Structure 1
Amino acid sequence: MLAPLLKYFIEVARQGSIRQAAEALHIAPSAINRHILEFEESLGIELFERLPRGMRLTAAGEVLYEVARRMQRDYTVALSEVDLLQQARRGHVSIGTLQALSEHFFPPLISGLIKEYPGITYSFFVGNTRDIIARVKSGDSDIGICGAPEKGERIKQVASVRLPFGVLMPRDHPLAGYPVIRLSDCKGYPLIYTTRGELRTLLDRMNIDGAERVSPALETNSVAMIRELVAAGAGIGFVSSGIMGHLAQGELLFRPLILQGRVSTDLTLIIREERKLSVAASLLLERIEAAFPRFEETLQRVTAP
């Protein structure tokens, strides 16, 4: 606890009276008076003016009072943080995430947290944006990372990063020399589509509205499978994420894709609007939010032409 001398001093200064301070602290007035006198003697200066109706701080007392109040606030904050750390030693967090982040974003992040807080456990649901939002709304997932929710959803968007649209191809593909790809450039090559998501919606819309139609040779809801199919030479894949590791290793090539004037989509960190997160979940949320800028920088670096 805060040193008794400072505690008595703060209370007398606040109350302006030894008697009232004694009542607030449930201590005999004579004991408080003795401690204040000893405090002044040890400092070699008077902290209070003794008035007929109470105590008033001297100029030196005012200075010490401000310092003591700051110390008291800092002490309270420190106790609160220690309590939170104790709570964070135990707990469980459920996360809903897109497959893209399950491979390169979360493993190092969670690995560090497990070493730091071994008492916290985690469960992951890997799915599409619609299912992740539904799980966050129902409370099945504490935290979600997915596409941007529709307006009107009772969802709080904590942070977001931009995911570039792109075409994934072998490094020796004929389109490898293009700095930017348009859908019309891809005609004549086997195309691999994702079955869901904003990128697929835009591709389908362009097939309806555009003059030239292109159709996928392969469809899958797995970004990992798109990646492996491209690596095996089955075609070129339309992706917005999930290929960082292979790009960083130089196995595949990513070229930006322009669809109806758009070059990217939002990846959003979400929680339920009115939900109060546990200490463990709040800790993970903070770590994810802090990691987002680095993640976006890495994406920009490995997907640059």
Structure 2
Amino acid sequence: MLFGRAAIYFDEVAKRGALRRAADVLHIAPSAVDRQIILLEEELGTKLFERTATGMRMTAAGELLIDGVRRWRRDLVRIRSEIDNLVGLRRGHVTIGMVEGASEFVASAVAHFQERYPAIRFRMDVFGAQGVIDQVLRGDIDVGVTFNPPDNPSIRLDRTMIYRLGFLVQPGHPLAQRKDVSLAECATYPLVIPGENLSLRRVLDTAWAKHVGGVPRAVAEVNSIGVIKALARRGVGIGCLTALDAISEIEAGTLIFLPVSDERVDLSTLSIVSAAGRTLSVPASLMIQHLAYMMEDHGVPVV
């Protein structure tokens, strides 16, 4: 019974924290979920949840069991995918977590991937840079695409792309014909800069203090890459981002990217990450290979 219906119900209750919420996800009656949990507790001889007025809270035994159940569910998905692959179905499901700045890169990669493997389905979620790492470590996503990942033996860096800080300007802007631009020159124009929640802000602040002095004074400080691009397109200011953040706009000619010319400005990295030691499904492995290929084809240094 352990690795069957009861385990699936147990996992959902652990995720949702309440019988009714788990039952809604499973599309069954709460009493049916509760019955399976009770049978599982009887089989193991211990309580897995404390039933409180606000919901279900896992006991120490429940915490131990949940790791095994989730490993089993991941392995089952992977094995099913590999069996499908053996018979040539190429079906499967891939979960990807990414930072907002990688959304265009990932969208382009998925579009090309779907042309070759149209039966594979995706779930894609956007997190902060550390949030992607946390999701990979918890096993909630197969593949992560994140900025400047930490040195962590539990994380496997499958491929890393190195890119430069720069500014986005309108095609008619006085700087638009330049190949690059210094930070001191940028200081003479209205600036639209990343908010402190975006990892690029730290790179900008460090470079600004070194080459201009103080902190950048911006007409707008924005916590969304999409809004920074929108403001730059409308001429509110020059937008501090990277070429990676504006692939579509640069290709369409609606924005021009100018890399910063100052020396010793910290480089940033975008990495494809997965959990070290975890066996991935065939579709997830294929997706990592495809993302790596797209990085190599991007025209910037890759390691």
Identify the TM-score tier after normalising by the shorter chain.
0.5 to 0.7
Give the AA of the match of 2:264.
G
The aligned residue for residue 114 of structure 2 is: 114
CA 1:171–1:264: 2 relative to 1, 3 Å: farther
For structure 1, list consecutive stretches of 5 or more residues without a partner in the other structure.
1-80, 301-305
Q: For residues 54-81 of structure 1, what are the alpha-carbon distances to aligned partners after superposition, in whole Å with 9 as ceiling and x for unaligned? A: xxxxxxxxxxxxxxxxxxxxxxxxxxx9
Give the 3-state SS of the residue equivalent to 1:254 in structure 2.
strand
Conserved? CA contact 2:85–2:91, under 8 Å? no
CA distance in 2, matches of 1:106, 1:88: 24
CA distance in 2, matches of 1:204, 1:111: 35
CA positional deviation for 1:237: 0.6
Give the 3-state SS of the residue equivalent to 1:174 in structure 2.
coil
The aligned residue for residue 216 of structure 2 is: 214
CA 1:144–1:207: 2 relative to 1, 3 Å: same
Where does 1:84-123 land on structure 2 (aligned, <5 Å)? 84-86=85-87, 89-103=90-104, 105-123=105-123
Give the AA of the match of 1:273.
A
The aligned residue for residue 200 of structure 1 is: 201
The aligned residue for residue 276 of structure 2 is: 273
CA positional deviation for 1:208: 5.0
The aligned residue for residue 184 of structure 2 is: 184
Conserved? CA contact 1:145–1:270, under 8 Å? yes
CA distance in 2, matches of 1:206, 1:164: 12
Give the 3-state SS of the residue equivalent to 2:156 in structure 1.
strand
The aligned residue for residue 136 of structure 1 is: 136
The aligned residue for residue 231 of structure 1 is: 233
CA distance in 2, matches of 1:256, 1:200: 15
State the percentage of identical aligned residues: 28
CA positional deviation for 1:143: 0.4
CA distance in 1, matches of 2:252, 2:113: 26
Conserved? CA contact 1:91–1:119, under 8 Å? yes
CA positional deviation for 1:206: 4.3
CA distance in 2, matches of 1:166, 1:275: 37
Conserved? CA contact 1:184–1:212, under 8 Å? no
Conserved? CA contact 2:205–2:215, under 8 Å? no
For structure 2, list consecutive stretches of 5 or more residues without a partner in the other structure.
1-81
Conserved? CA contact 1:165–1:238, under 8 Å? yes
CA 1:200–1:258: 2 relative to 1, 3 Å: farther
CA positional deviation for 1:274: 1.7
CA distance in 1, matches of 2:101, 2:185: 26
Picking from 281, 286, 294, the partner of 2:289 is 286
RMSD: 2.6
CA distance in 1, matches of 2:290, 2:86: 15
Work out the number of aligned pairs and report it. Answer: 217
Where does 1:39-188 land on structure 2 (aligned, <5 Å)? 84-86=85-87, 89-103=90-104, 105-152=105-152, 154-188=154-188
CA distance in 2, matches of 1:182, 1:200: 17
Conserved? CA contact 2:198–2:223, under 8 Å? no
Give the AA of the match of 2:204.
L
Give the AA of the match of 1:265.
S
Give the AA of the match of 1:222.
S
Conserved? CA contact 2:194–2:222, under 8 Å? yes
Rg larger in structure: 1
CA distance in 2, matches of 1:248, 1:145: 22
Q: For residues 106-126 of structure 1, what are the alpha-carbon distances to aligned partners after superposition, in whole Å with 9 as ceiling and x for unaligned? A: 334323443543442210012
CA 1:213–1:291: 2 relative to 1, 3 Å: closer
CA 1:88–1:275: 2 relative to 1, 3 Å: farther
CA 1:152–1:230: 2 relative to 1, 3 Å: same
CA positional deviation for 1:216: 1.9
Runs of 4+ in 1 over 4 A off after TM superposition: 206-210
CA positional deviation for 1:133: 1.1
Choose 167-176 or 233-242, whichever is displaced more.
Answer: 167-176
Where does 1:240-255 land on structure 2 (aligned, <5 Å)? 240=242, 241-255=244-258
Give the 3-state SS of the residue equivalent to 1:242 in structure 2.
helix
